[in-house]
Amino acid sequence: MASAPPLSELQGWLAAVWTTREGVDAALKSPAGEKARRWISELRPPSARDRLAVYSDAYFLRLLESLGSEFPAVKRALGEDNFRKLIADYLSRHHSDSPNLSDLGSKLAEFSAAHALSKRFPYLGDLCRLEWEVLSALYTDRLPPLDPAVFSRLSPADWEKAALVFDPTLSLLEVSWPVDRLWAQRSSPAKAARCVWRTPRPGKLAVWRDDEWVRVESLEQEAFLTLESLMRGTSLPAACAASGAEADELKSWFAAWAKEGLIKGLR
Amino acid sequence: MQKRAVSGVGLGLRSVHYDHVLSRRPAVPWFEVISENFMGPRGGSGGRPLEVLAKVRREYPVALHGVSLSIGSTDPLDFDYLKKLESLASVIEPWIVTDHLCWTGAHGKNLHDLLPLPYTEEAARHVAGRIEKVQDAIGRSIAIENVSSYLSYKHDEMAEWEFIARIVKTTGCGVLLDVNNIHVSAINHGFDGEEYLAGIPVAAVRQMHLAGYSEENGFLIDTHDHPVSDPVWKLYAAAVRRFGAVPTLIEWDEHIPSFARLQKEAAKAKEVQDGVCAAAV
Ligand SMILES: [Fe+2]
């Protein structure tokens, strides 16, 4: 018998076999497959092929299931078969290189937007982007609640320069399709999912996490732009002046943002 | 957060039972969680899952059980991952940190599976060296778990239990003995589960796992979706006779039943422990 392969080579051959999209039989015809098979014990049935197949079959199903649980609205909107096709294509281009399975979907939005399925489902890229933001909000630590006393401690001169601190889970998203509606329906039966909008309906979304879970809300254009400007660090007076909104309107935005726990302090 | 001595039969904490555990505070001696579920993706952190775990930890001891250490891979150790593990452990103060004796990927590809190692001198040296580096990096000792496997290698130089014993001897790490995995691999490869137990150093065993398997195409598959089977209960009794009533966990990760059903399975394991210990007295 030839001398045993170094561990690194053996692992390289096996990883190539188990991640072959066409399955174990195609993989075993490749040079890596032929080499790997030679080192699998066949002292008793099942065959080396069947033993390798256990791992090949499990590989795709595991990653498909994981992405399905992290992109439930995408899965529901596309249906099982299209979702499976999208993920098979995605995994052919992007293998996991992270110890955390949650990283696997990081390029799905970009990939989906350019995928053939986005012709039939033009909102696909937007919906993936939204679900990725939701996942990111889920795995971001929140700041402690706002202490209202910080406002009363400010001198008039400080007010001129004061900027708001927002919760790190908050992100803003501009979308071409109202995908927040698809996200809201992610857990309801799939038969209602076939909504197709014929023309884009641009929208502005805010994503953040509250005490319970991740929230997705649609924002009016002016509120979105003001919030975006404040999040970039623009001072309160400057952002308010630039918004062009009436004082009452500004007050109602700030009250809502404070109530939802988006504002966490002053800088 | 008080440190308590851990014993008895714990349960895996899964998200479907978060509300029940936090609102009802069921009588469970400790919980085990999957470490990676509380680390977040790159650039992320524990977020909401860690908020929940921190609340659970105020009431119960917790074991951190990882699936991505990839201790047997020939890729370099991932020190970002180890830093996250160390930081999670410093927040949660687990009673034990465990992961699997396997590799999960190589050459930059992570397969997210518990892949079997060849049981060779080369692999034993490789794994032992990495365990020492991991223990240094996280500042704690770890215990390694035997995995279920569906293939073995022609160039194996020793039995799985000899491989484990060798690594324990070199590194001083602990063993998380999965009794179901021993049975699954024993059937898949044709060895004797009791001979396996006899080869594991008694003092190294810090925790045990029990779970259910499925049968598919002539294999036993470690699916964690069934009650513990009769042959595994029998092997568990033999394990308790050899290693004592070490803390044991019921793993049930698919088709997860009600919390009450999990508690019933845990009570059965406790009965086995108590029965063996009473007989010994
Ligand atoms: Fe286990």
Please list the alpha-helical segments (H only) found in chain A: 7-18, 24-28, 31-38, 48-70, 72-78, 80-93, 108-113, 117-120, 124-138, 149-152, 156-161, 179-184, 221-231, 236-243, 247-259
Predicted confidence at residue A26, as pLDDT, reads 97
Dist. CA B145 → ligand 1 center (Å): 7
Q: Which two tokens stand for residue A2?
A: 């030839």
CB atoms inside a 10 Å sphere around CB B15? 10
Count of residues making up chain A: 267
Interface of A with B in 215-244 (CB under 8 A): none
Distance from CA of A34 to the nearest CA of B (A): 14
Residue B39 phi/psi, 5-degree rounding, is -105, -25
Q: Is the pLDDT of residue A195 over 80?
A: no
Task: Tell me, yes or no, if A92 comes closer than 8 A to chain B by beta carbon.
Answer: no
> Residues A126-136: what's their mean pLDDT?
97
Q: Token pair for residue A159?
A: 């007010």
Distance of CA B44 to the CA centre of its chain: 25
pLDDT value of position A155: 82
pLDDT category at A246 given cuts 50, 70, 90 is confident
**Structure-token pair, residue A55:** 């791992």
Q: What single-letter amino acid sits at A195?
A: C
Residue of B nearest to A44 (CA): B189
Q: How far is A84 from chain B (nearest CA, A)?
A: 18
Residue where the block lists tokens 């970002």: B80
- C-alpha–C-alpha distance, residues A204 and A197, integer Å: 17
Q: Report the distance separating Cα B45 and Cα B88, nearest Å.
A: 10
- Residue B209 C-alpha, separation from nearest chain A C-alpha, in angstroms: 22
Helices B160-171, B121-138: crossing angle, 10 deg rounding: 40
> Quick one: closest CA in B to A5, which residue?
B155
Q: Nearest-CA distance from A144 to chain B in Å? A: 12
Ligand 1 mean position, distance from CA B136 (Å)? 24
Q: Quick one: which of A109, A101, A117, A100 has its CA closest to A133?
A: A109
Span A4-13, average pLDDT: 96
Report strand pairing: A164-166 vs A263-266: antiparallel
Inter-chain touch B36–A100, beta carbons under 8 Å: yes
% of chain A at pLDDT higher than 70: 97
Select the residue of A52, A66, A99 nearest B151 (Cβ to Cβ).
A52
Contacts of B218 in chain A (CB under 8 A): 45-46, 50
Rounded to 10 degrees, what is the CA torsion of A55, A61, A64, A67? -70
| DSSP run (H or E) holding B157 | none
Tokens of B5: 């001595």
Q: Distance from the CA of B149 to the center of ligand 1, in angstroms?
A: 12
Say if strands B9-12 and B248-251 run parallel, antiparallel, or are unpaired: parallel
The strand pairing partners of B97, in sequence order, are B64
Give the distance from residue B216's alpha carbon to the nearest chain A alpha carbon, in angstroms: 10
Q: What pLDDT score was predicted for residue B3?
A: 54
- pLDDT per position as a tens digit, A211-235: 889 999 999 999 999 999 999 999 9
Closest chain B residue to the Cα of A104, Cα to Cα: B41
Q: Are A162 and A142 in contact (CB under 8 A)?
A: no
What is the B92 CA–ligand 1 centroid distance (Å)?
21
Distance (angstroms) between ligand 1 centre and the Cα of A156 equals 62
CB contact under 8 A, A15 and B105: yes
Minimum Cα–Cα distance from B157: chain A residue:
A4
For residue A56, what are its two tokens?
């090949």
Which class does domain B9-280 fall in? alpha beta
Query: What is the b/e burial string over A222-236, where b = at least 16 CB atoms within 10 angstroms of the residue's CB?
Result: ebbbbbbbbbeebbb
Q: Which of B237, B231, B246 is nearest to B201 (CA)?
A: B246
A171–B contact, CB cutoff 8 A: no
Six-digit token string for A86: 């999208």
Domain borders along chain B are 9-280
- In chain A, residues with a C-beta closer than 8 Å to the C-beta of B150 are 51, 54-55
Residue A44 contacts B where some CB pair is shorter than 8 Å: yes
Interchain contact, B110 vs A95, CB within 8 Å: yes
Q: What is the pLDDT along chain B (281 residues), one digit of tens a residue?
A: 555 579 999 999 999 999 999 999 999 999 999 999 999 998 889 999 999 999 999 999 999 999 999 999 999 999 999 999 999 999 999 999 999 999 999 999 999 999 999 999 999 999 999 999 999 999 999 999 999 999 999 999 999 999 999 999 999 999 999 999 999 999 999 999 999 999 999 999 999 999 999 988 778 998 888 899 999 999 999 999 999 999 999 999 888 999 999 999 999 999 999 999 888 87
Residues 6+ positions from A182 with CB-CB distance below 8 Å: A73, A76, A77, A123, A127, A193, A195
Q: Considering only CB atoms, which chain A residues are within 8 Å of B154?
A: 1, 38-41
- Scan for tokens 């470690």, then name that residue: B222
State the residue for tokens 């899965």. Answer: A75
Of B72, B120, B219, the CB nearest to A4: B120
Asked if the C-beta of A252 comes within 8 angstroms of chain B's C-beta atoms, the answer is: no
The confidence score (pLDDT) of residue A198 equals: 79
Give yes or no for a contact between A201 and A195, defined as CB atoms under 8 angstroms apart: no
Tell me how far apart the 2 most distant CA atoms of chain A are, in Å. Answer: 85
Cis omega (within 30 of 0) for bond into A46: yes
The span from the CA of B17 to the CA of B12, in Å, is 10
Cβ separation A96–B115 shorter than 8 A: no
Which of B81, B113, B151 shows the shortest C-beta gap to A59?
A: B113
Residues 6+ apart with CB under 8 A from B11: B28, B31, B32, B249, B250, B262, B263, B266
Instruction: Calculate the CA B128 to chain-centre distance.
Output: 18
Q: Do A54 and B36 touch (CB under 8 A)?
A: no
Nearest Cβ partner of B68 from A45, A62, A100? A100
Is A161 in the B-facing interface, judged by CB distances under 8 Å? no
Q: How many CB atoms lie within 10 A of CB A117?
A: 15
Global pTM value: 0.94
Q: Chain B: residue nearest A102 by CA?
A: B41
Long-range pairs for B221-227 at CB < 8 Å and ≥24 separation?
B221/A54, B221/B148, B221/B150, B221/B184, B222/B147, B222/B148, B222/B180, B222/B181, B222/B184, B223/B254, B224/B251, B224/B252, B224/B253, B224/B254, B225/B252, B225/B253, B225/B254, B225/B255, B227/B265
Which residue reads 């991952």 in tokens?
Answer: B81
Q: Count of A–B CB contacts within 8 Å? A: 149
Q: Which has the closest alpha carbon to B94: B171, B197, B13, B205?
A: B13
Residues contacting A237, CB < 8 A, separation 6+: A159, A160, A162
